[in-house]
Structure 1
Amino acid sequence: MEMLRKDRMLNQGETIDILNRSEYGILSTVGKDNAPYGVPLNFAYVEGVIYFHCAKANGYKIINIINNSNVCFTVVDDVCLQPEILSTKYKSAILFGKISIVEDIEEKKKGLEALIKKLSPEYMEVGMKCIDKNTDKTYILKMEVAEMTGKGKK
């Protein structure tokens, strides 16, 4: 989809910086009944892939992913309200792609390790023990990014 406000378009490096700085975003899926569903999730971006983790339970997110792998992921960063001019300063990234549940144990560990490195880097040793103990108790979701855009207003 083409961005309307090209004057606010960020380059790919700036967009990836948003992904690397931000702790969470909104994953949007579509249900069997075509109802949209958005859920906030922690994530890690690794070379064109977004990794998420979640409980092994078949809630809306997992059921929707099983039925339709097309997703959108949105992250907002550097938000600053500017009430005196009725505006908002921000940076955002929107990604489109396909998502799947990772079955391969080594890739699951890779996704979990990426999440720990991003969200709890000072606890890597504890995190690695947790990965070894709990890999089979969690889902790792992998979003393969097909399209990514960044937008910002200063």
Structure 2
Amino acid sequence: MFREMRRKKQLLSEEETSEIIKAHSAGVLSVTGDDGYPYGIPISYAYIDGNLYFHCAKEGHKIDAIKRNDKVSFCVIDKDEVIQETFTTHFRSVVAFGRARILTEDIDRRAALESLVGKYSPDYMQEGQKEIEKDWSRVCVVEVKIEHMTGKAAKEIAKYKE
């Protein structure tokens, strides 16, 4: 169903791939937007047990797109070092494919929002609970069940692993 990576020597392990997606604070979510145009939008997210969670407004381009087509992709760039003299970059990145769904059960919504507070403001959990309560009726929470995820590194970096 998903393509195999063409340059298998550059494939990161599942462990490295998971570490990258857990470590970062932002990535780009891509959906099928209006009139079939791709729509990529930077988001903050939490990655837990193979799923991504993010919050957003209840209305807008992103939510309309997810309601029309739940298939999404998500990308995180871990490293991007330009090497001028060799006309290349030393990079590490992750691409994930999955299905997005708007969470409707209060217990699921709360758990996802608490995971976001825990990731971005771990020293302010109590204040985060108040923020969740304040915005509860206005916030939309989305889960992306990842079906396929790969990590890739520039061949120059991959060589160092061998």
- For Structure 1 versus Structure 2, the TM-score category normalised by the shorter chain is over 0.9
- Give the RMSD, CA atoms, in angstroms: 1.2
Deviations 1:89-114 (A, max 9, x none): 12111111100111111111111111
Q: What letter is aligned with 1:118?
A: K
Q: Distance in 2 between matches of 1:96 and 1:55?
A: 22
Any stretches of 5+ residues in structure 1 without a counterpart? none
Aligned to 1:44: 46
Which one has a larger percent strand, Structure 1 or Structure 2?
1
Q: Distance in 2 between matches of 1:12 and 1:26?
A: 20
Q: Distance in 2 between matches of 1:37 and 1:101?
A: 18
- Which stretch of the first structure deviates more once superposed, 107-116 or 119-128? 119-128
Pairwise CA distance, 1:135 = 2.2
Q: What letter is aligned with 2:32?
A: V
Q: Distance in 2 between matches of 1:105 and 1:23?
A: 25
Q: What letter is aligned with 2:44?
A: N
Name the SS of the counterpart of 1:149 in structure 2: strand
Aligned to 1:22: 24
| Aligned residues of 1:42 and 1:52 also touching (Cα < 8 A) | yes
Q: What is the count of residue pairs matched by the alignment? A: 153
Deviations 1:64-118 (A, max 9, x none): 1001001111111122121122111121111111001111111111111111111
Q: Quick check: 1:71 aligned with 2:72? A: yes
Q: Distance in 2 between matches of 1:119 and 1:85?
A: 37
Correspondence list, 1:2-151, <5 A: 2-31=4-33, 33-57=35-59, 59-151=60-152
**Which is higher, the Rg of structure 1 or of structure 2?**
2
Any stretches of 5+ residues in structure 2 without a counterpart? 158-162
Overall identity of the aligned pairs, in %: 37
Runs of 4+ with >3 A deviation = none
